[in-house]
Amino acid sequence: MVMTFAIVRDVFEGSQARAQLSYVNLVMGVAPIIAPTIGSFILVLANWRAIYGVLAIAGFLLLFFVSIGLGESLASPNIDALKPHRLIKNYGRVLSDPICLGYALVNALSFGCMFTYVAGSPLVFINLFKVSTTTYGWLFASTAFGIMVGSFLNGHLNKRGVSPTKLLTFGLITAIVTSVALVVISMSGAAQIVTLMPLLIVNTFCLGIISPNAVHGAIQPLPEIAGVASATVGFLQMLSGALAGGLVSFLFDGHRPIAMTGLMAMFAITSYLVYIRLVRPAESRFVYSLSEPIKEK
């Protein structure tokens, strides 16, 4: 994931980069849909151990095709990039840049909102609503499809020149509205599959809009250390996902979906607050500094 983001930054600029990140997001969204189907097919032919064999073969094939078909994307690689003091300095640059850090946090918190659903949905649908594992697979696939649609739409709109600020604002606000609506339904006692699923699909759709623009915003300002910026994005995203998964499992009471929906709302609201309180003011200061006239001596 980290390398993919960095490669896109090395090769593409501006709206083209955001469009390509959208398509990366779209392909990543395919995996949750096709993986259970492939796994089920393997189990028909062999036992569960064969799944790990297929994973090993896929890993070797991936390594082979990358080794023969993927060249260096960075025009002028830095031979000192992996020296400890240089790495520490570069991470310090990323973490002290409010635009880079802010966008990375927006992406991470939005991912936390989505991963709360990923970790909490088996507890809600299987344990609470007693749906079969097959039905749950279809429900999960529908939300994964929502991410794919959001990613595709985001890529198309970026190519059409739509501002990433407008797209991010739309995605973040829609995520808040849907997650708060999920909380209201959970607390009102009206929580059922038919009342939750439409909102969950729209909520995960928002990640397809938010993530490519936020990731691009995080790695765009520092192109010479795009790998470090991308690694920071990936680390914060996984940290947020781990926190979301642990919290929703700990807070689930077995009676209501409020633990899942409440945490989703918390992550969505926090993501938007980071965007308007940290990212937007920093971008405004940056644009203002660029527009200042040069004073003559």
Tell me the C-alpha distance between 114 and 155, whole Å: 20
Alpha carbons within 13 A on the beta-carbon side of 57: 5
- The whole-angstrom separation of Cα 296 and Cα 235 is 45
Q: What is the pLDDT of residue 272?
A: 97
Give the end-to-end CA distance of the chain in Å, rounded to a whole number: 49
The per-residue pLDDT for 182 is 96
Cα atoms in the 13 Å half-sphere on the side-chain side of 183: 16
81 vs 72: CA distance, rounded Å: 15
pLDDT of residue 297: 40
pLDDT of residue 290: 46
**pLDDT, position 96:** 92
Tell me the three state secondary structure of residue 230.
Answer: helix
Give residue 32's pLDDT: 65
Q: String of b and e for 203-242 (b: at least 16 CB within 10 Å)?
A: bbbbbbbbbbbbbbbbbbbbeebbbbbbbbbbebbeebbe
Contact 95, 228 (CB under 8 A): no
Does the CA dihedral 70-75-79-85 come out positive or negative? negative
Q: What is the pLDDT of residue 1?
A: 78
Predicted pLDDT at 296: 43
The pLDDT value given to residue 265: 97
The residue ranges of every structural domain in the chain are 12-290
Question: CA neighbours within 13 Å on the CB side: how many for 176?
Answer: 10
Could you confirm whether domain 12-290 is CATH 3.50.50.60?
A: no
Helix (H) or strand (E) holding 98: helix 98-121
Concatenated DSSP letters for 151-178?
A: HHHHHHHHHTT--HHHHHHHHHHHHHHH
| Residue ranges, the chain, pLDDT below 50 | 290-292, 294-297
Q: What is the dihedral of CA 70, 71, 73, 78, to 10 degrees?
A: 130
Q: Under 8 Å CB-to-CB from 202, ≥6 apart: which residues?
A: 146, 174, 178
